[in-house]
Structure 1
Amino acid sequence: MNETRRAVLDALADGPVAGPVLAETLGISRTAVWKHVEALRDAGFDVDSEPDGYALAGVPDYGAEAVEFGLDAPFDVEYHDALPSTNDRARELAADGASDVVVLADRQTGGRGRRGREWSSPSGGVWMSLVLRPELPPARVPLVTLAAAVAVTDAAREAGVDAAIKWPNDCVVPREGTERGGDKLAGVLTEMEGEASRVSWVVVGVGVNVDVNPGELVGDATSVRAEGGDADRRAFVQRALERFDALRADPDAVLDAWRERAATLGERVRVETADGDVVGDAVDVTEHGALVVDTGDARRVVHAGDCQHLRPVDGA
């Protein structure tokens, strides 16, 4: 949304305000005011024409303008009804020099998770990718992923869902006795381009089952709606982006925030890695996003793998 239209929208929210007054205040013509009002109506905003002027009567449920309105974080939003992958589009924008842009889609037709796994992305979910240019060395970029997981978890909790983070990048609703540590609510997938000493760009893909019909959920997935939470996608996106923006401004706080929300820490786990299984107690996560597992003989630092939560051993 351009700055003039944003200013018109903010004025209407405080309305009613007469067109001539708005034109004079913003330094634009009355015709321009009318065009901006019509554009807002086309975008789904309910703008009333009252005797005293224009007034905002309603905000659309979803979309770029809807998310940007009232968003307390410096992101521009690009919205699509459908995309094969928001990460693919975000990489295109990153290659063109974009920064602090959120690619948002109502549904994805080719969504994917870790290791290229398919991720079901029906209408009703939050499918978004953030184009970022963090001032971090490449070794600290994993903090961006951890921050995104915290932000999504906090947004889910604000929506009324008892969410937690399962290593490495899933947001789950904890269930006792399940290998995944709970039913999956969201996932985070980060991609980066850069050199040894600098980061060119980072794309953080986030997929969240928010207002997804429980009948459309696959496997052990759940949704905010299925958990009885507030399934307002617009509010969810805004809270997640605002929390993420606060965390990226304070990277030293990210690790402790992740630990406080972790479902995996303190659990007995099995991590399937390329070099074999690592079994033990998950005791910590490093700033590089690696899981520290106490096997009983040593502490192993696991950088990647599939993590299963195990039942405690007898006597433990």
Structure 2
Amino acid sequence: MNETRRRVLDALADGPVTGPALADALDVSRAAVWKHVEALREEGFVVESTDDGYVLESVAEYGGLALEYGLDAPYEVEYHDAIGSTNDRARELAGEGASDVAVVAAEQTGGRGRLDREWTAPRGGVYVSVLVRPDVPPAQAPVFTLAAAVATANAAREVGVDAGIKWPNDVLVPTDDGDTRKLAGILTEMEGEADRVSWLVVGIGVNVDVSTAELPPDATSVTVEGGTADRRAFAQRVLEGFHVLTSGDPSDVLPAWRERALTLGQRVRVDTPGGVVEGVARDVEFPGALVVETDDGDVRVTAGDCEHLRSAE
């Protein structure tokens, strides 16, 4: 966000303020103040002109300015009405040396999930890729995926959706018949050296205000589940939650993940690069390995596709 425009918004949030007072406080011309106010109006902010000065009546529904306004996390927001992939754009920014950027899109035309699977990303969802440069070794990168899953599940619960996490990164909603439907997916990519991460991009795609007709058969959305579908607030809660979880000791993410886990205690089948592992998921160990109790003892799985098996199986 333009820094002067941010300060204009901050001033408007405190109550009526006149154009001359804004110009003096920001050390800009009155014409510049007017241009910034007009730009805010074009973005969807409702700014009224009253006898007491400018008054901010309401915030834009969505967009870069709206997402940064009131965001309690240190991310610059780069917003796109439509883009192929927010992860791809975040990777481009990483190559340019950027950091602490959240690339957000109203729609993705080339969204992808793990193993380059297609990810449906229609309008109404929250699609954000966070670019960070954490001072951690590459081996600890999986914990950032867990943190994103926790932040997303928590945001969903705040708006009335009973979401949980399937290891390692799918946010699901349990159904009455014991099945689940997918609410969100996460794709983490990174570049690093032997001892440290150079950059890390965590892509989060959430079905928020998306109708059943626009969703795959095994998916759901905040709207479908009867939750409050405010994309701006949802995206902010995800970003703020991710920032809090990744700002301290990385190992502190695990207790939060366990609290939201749907996988622990379930009989699972995990398709790993080394073969299929089947048994009961007992725990998750730092930085994100799933501990599966098999007939041959405990197996620690660091990567793979996890399937929850019905108890009858």
Structure 1 residue 312, shift from structure 2 partner: 2.4
Q: Once the two structures are superposed, what CA deviation does each residue of 1:180-199 show, in whole Å capped at 9, x if it has no partner?
A: x6110001100000100111
Structure 1 residue 54, shift from structure 2 partner: 0.6
How large is the RMSD of aligned CA atoms in angstroms? 1.3
Question: Which residue matches 1:133?
Answer: 133
Q: Once the two structures are superposed, what CA deviation does each residue of 1:248-270 show, in whole Å capped at 9, x if it has no partner?
A: 11223101111111000011111
Structure 1 residue 275, shift from structure 2 partner: 2.8
What is the SS of the residue equivalent to 1:285?
Answer: strand
CA distance in 2, matches of 1:175, 1:271: 22
Structure 1 residue 175, shift from structure 2 partner: 3.1
Structure 1 residue 313, shift from structure 2 partner: 5.2
Question: Which residue matches 2:153?
Answer: 153
Matches within 5 A, 1:78-227: 78-175=78-175, 182-227=180-225
Structure 1 residue 172, shift from structure 2 partner: 0.2
Is there any run of 5+ residues in structure 2 with no aligned partner, and where?
A: none
Matches within 5 A, 1:34-49: 34-49=34-49
Structure 1 residue 43, shift from structure 2 partner: 1.4
CA distance in 2, matches of 1:91, 1:155: 25
The residue type paired with residue 18 of structure 2 is: A
Question: Which residue matches 1:69?
Answer: 69
Aligned residues of 1:87 and 1:203 also touching (Cα < 8 A): yes
Aligned residues of 1:177 and 1:311 also touching (Cα < 8 A): no
Question: Which residue matches 2:294?
Answer: 295
The residue type paired with residue 76 of structure 1 is: E
Aligned residues of 2:251 and 2:286 also touching (Cα < 8 A): no
Is there any run of 5+ residues in structure 1 with no aligned partner, and where?
A: none
Question: Which residue matches 1:23?
Answer: 23
Query: What is the count of residue pairs matched by the alignment?
Result: 312
Structure 1 residue 45, shift from structure 2 partner: 0.9
What is the SS of the residue equivalent to 2:190?
Answer: strand
Structure 1 residue 227, shift from structure 2 partner: 0.2
Aligned residues of 1:293 and 1:301 also touching (Cα < 8 A): yes
Matches within 5 A, 1:219-258: 219-250=217-248, 251-258=250-257
Structure 1 residue 76, shift from structure 2 partner: 0.8
Aligned residues of 2:281 and 2:290 also touching (Cα < 8 A): yes
Question: Which residue matches 1:7?
Answer: 7
Aligned residues of 1:151 and 1:241 also touching (Cα < 8 A): yes
Tell me the percent identity.
65
Aligned residues of 1:289 and 1:303 also touching (Cα < 8 A): yes
What is the SS of the residue equivalent to 1:171?
Answer: strand
CA distance in 2, matches of 1:235, 1:140: 29
Aligned residues of 1:124 and 1:211 also touching (Cα < 8 A): yes
CA distance in 1, matches of 2:134, 2:31: 41
CA distance in 2, matches of 1:247, 1:175: 28
Structure 1 residue 165, shift from structure 2 partner: 0.4
Structure 1 residue 15, shift from structure 2 partner: 2.2
Question: Which residue matches 1:276?
Answer: 275
TM-score when normalising by structure 2: 0.97
TM-score when normalising by structure 1: 0.96
Structure 1 segments of 4+ aligned residues over 4 angstroms from their partners: none
Structure 1 residue 273, shift from structure 2 partner: 2.1
CA distance in 2, matches of 1:150, 1:95: 28
The residue type paired with residue 295 of structure 1 is: T
CA distance in 1, matches of 2:140, 2:270: 23
Q: Once the two structures are superposed, what CA deviation does each residue of 1:277-316 show, in whole Å capped at 9, x if it has no partner?
A: 21110001121322110013210111222211112258xx
CA distance in 1, matches of 2:310, 2:155: 29
Aligned residues of 1:14 and 1:55 also touching (Cα < 8 A): no
Q: Once the two structures are superposed, what CA deviation does each residue of 1:221-241 show, in whole Å capped at 9, x if it has no partner?
A: 000000000110000001111
